């Protein structure tokens, strides 16, 4: 794991949350992107070495909508940058962590991503991410 790449925060409403985080972080949102496969809108803010990713569900039954229903708005996941996502997935699987999907998926912000089951990390949803070089 190289560093915390971003922290994902589940929000109900971008109209409200994007300007609020711009004010809080004192930096403009630099990218809004829809991830079709996850049915979410994402909004990114740079904060030094790390980013904040806001997540809004496009589907009332989607993972983010269900998360907010269960736990309310708030921190959804922590994403760690890795240099070789497949190697890191293999290492973690061998160490007993459950991967939520067997192959890296295309994620927001030009990344390959893989999520680990939160029950293996004291309730924290962990994302591995690696910059996509193929674009």
Residues lying near Co ion in the complex (CB under 5 A): 8, 53, 79, 127
**C-beta closer to Co ion: residue 5 or 94:** 5
- In the complex with Co ion, which residue's Cβ is closer, 10 or 94? 10
List phi, psi (to 5°) of 103. -125, 150
Assign 28 to helix, strand or coil.
Answer: coil
Q: Nearest distance from residue 78's CB to Co ion, in Å?
A: 9
Residue number closest to Co ion, CB atom: 8
Pick 80 or 97: Cβ nearer Co ion: 80
Q: Cβ 48 to Co ion, closest distance in Å?
A: 17
Residues 72 and 66 sit within 8 Å (Cβ to Cβ)? no
Q: Is 7 exposed, middle or buried (0-12, 13-18, 19+ CB in 10 A)?
A: middle
């Amino acid at each position: 794991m190289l560093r915390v790449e971003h922290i994902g925060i589940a929000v109900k409403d971008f109209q409200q949350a994007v300007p609020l985080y711009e004010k809080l972080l004192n930096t403009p949102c630099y990218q809004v992107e829809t991830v079709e496969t996850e049915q979410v809108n994402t909004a990114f803010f740079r904060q030094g070495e790390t980013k904040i990713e806001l997540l809004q569900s496009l589907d009332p039954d989607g993972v983010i909508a269900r998360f907010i229903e269960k736990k309310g708005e708030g921190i959804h996941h922590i994403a760690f940058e890795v240099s070789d996502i497949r190697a890191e997935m293999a290492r973690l699987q061998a160490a007993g962590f459950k991967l939520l999907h067997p192959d890296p998926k295309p994620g927001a912000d030009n990344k390959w991503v893989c999520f680990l089951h939160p029950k293996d990390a004291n309730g924290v949803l962990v994302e591995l991410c690696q910059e996509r070089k193929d674009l």
